[in-house]
Amino acid sequence: MSRREPSAVANGACPAEEGRSRAPHRSRSTCCSHDITCKNKMVTVDGVRVKLQIWDTAGQERFRSVTHAYYRDAQALLLLYDITSKSSFDNIRAWLTEIHEYAQKDVVIMLLGNKADVNNERVIKAEDGETLAREYGVPFMETSAKTGMNVELAFLAIAKELKHRAVRQPDEPRFQIHEYIESQKKRTSCCAFI
C-alpha cells in the first residue's frame, strides 16, 4: 500500500513477475500503465497459496479513465484514504460511485483508513470511516503502511473471501468477511503488547 492517498488497489489476472513493475502500457496483456504500480503478493489461505495481483493507482485523478478498464476485470478493490486528509476521505464517495458503475456486481470492496500510525495528525475519526463503510455495505479497518498495522489482515481477508467464493458449494454458508475482520482485529489487539 502506498502513502499516496486515496488509492484504488485491484486484484486480477495478469502475466507479471513477482515484484514491482512500472512498465508503460503497451497492450491489454501488459499489467501496468503510466505510473500505475503493479505487484504480485502471495498469501496462504487455509493452507492454499493464493496469488493477488495489486494495481496501485495511488488515487491520482489523471488515471481516472484508465482505472475504469481495471475495474471491469477486478475481483476485489481496496480503497484507501488518508486519515490526515479530509479531501482524501471526501474523494472516497466518488471512487465508490465509479466502482458501482464500472466494476463487476460481485466485486469485493474494502475501505481502509491509512496512516493510523500518525493519530496525532488525525483529521478523520475512525467512526467516520466505519459510518461510510456501513453506508456502502463494505468492510472497514484502519491501517498503517508505515508500521504494517492491519495490512496483512486486509489482504488475507480479501484472499479468504475470493477463495471461499471460488470453492463454495451452493448449500454452504457464505464467508462473512466483516465478522472475520472484527475477530482478527480483536485477536491481534488483545495480544499486541505481549
Maximum alpha-carbon separation in the chain: 50
- Give the three-state DSSP class for 74: coil
Average pLDDT over residues 16-26: 32
Residue 70: pLDDT band (50, 70, 90) is confident
Please report, for the chain, the start and end positions of each structural domain, with discontinuous segments joined by +: 7-190
| pLDDT at residue 137, rounded to an integer | 92
Residues 6+ apart with CB under 8 A from 115: 3, 5, 82, 83, 84, 121, 144, 145, 146
| pLDDT at residue 19, rounded to an integer | 35
Task: Compute the distance between CA of residue 163 and CA of residue 159 in angstroms, rounded to an integer.
Answer: 6
pTM of the prediction? 0.75
Is 105 a residue whose pLDDT tops 60? yes
CATH architecture of the domain covering 7-190: 3-Layer(aba) Sandwich (3.40)
Asked whether the beta carbons of 148 and 176 are under 8 A apart, the reply is no
Residue-wise pLDDT for 150-179, tens only, equals: 999 999 999 999 888 888 778 888 788 888
Average pLDDT over residues 70-75: 81
Is 83 a residue whose pLDDT tops 80? yes
